[in-house]
Chain A
């Protein structure tokens, strides 16, 4: 069975629909497919394999995400589910879907900008000035970084100077 045939199979399509509703435990506004961490869904004779790419090396949610995916696939009657890990190519915030970015913004988290330039850039050690991030509430570009890290490794803490609201920013990586 070729990859194309598999993509068209109803079981695989059903599995993708189920995955659209499996939420990231750390950012419960967006799903694992919004995050772009589900790289492949493969139908086997004895179940469904979901291929996932980890976000951060030390992300404490990795195991929980694998379990949630497995539970959801099983609950939909598609199981038994098997979650496998694919490290390369490494996940980047550029894989967060446009819908995922909208959901983040609506949830009060400023979505990451493109990091295509980041990947090719040399290490720039001195970065005392935070990059410009628009406020997800009022849209103002007048914001300042309060803390490089926030409630999770993938986010930093900002404040909007215009509307005075604090907000989180999903860092580009």
Chain B
């Protein structure tokens, strides 16, 4: 196996990186892949809680780096889903306990025994972000249809360009179609016009995400949630499948957005 390392990042905090990482991990594992999610937010770990694995942590990322355990010992297997593992962050240390080359080494070791390694990047553009993108083969930028989030995403795109990383792809998270239709929220096409990167997913605002996070069961685990379906679609696109985007509005509307995105200057 030569696993692909995919980092999920956003610049701005609170746009849904951790939720997206948990759900994409679940969705990729549901497709039969072996997936390791890594929480790179050292000092503010949360991926364990969102995935519902917080009670199973013995060792963490920093224990591995500092040689207190083997990588395999720190990986928590999700008992609900075959093939899904979590490498948790340390909670009582800070970002300087990890270096970009530590992350590269760990991911190189994981690559040989997994299909996907998903890294949940911390917010910001400092050390934690650098750690998260250092081993990435691909970067997914998560943005909300909101000015500050889009601006921060643009900054991240610029930093990735300067780093000569492959062009990132974009997930627009927490879109409210009814607000877009009223002209009171940026549409997908608007965000694409501004950021000019490839779209890989559209996730609608969905109360089920909070409810499932409360329970520690990522929304993608169960049917019946629009956001969960959106993440399952993204997982298939990551695997190279052509999956039509969710029609959040009338088909015409969504196509209209995408057309405007392509047609405008």
- Do A and B associate with each other? no
Residues of B within 8 A of A (CB): none
Residues of A within 8 A of B (CB): none
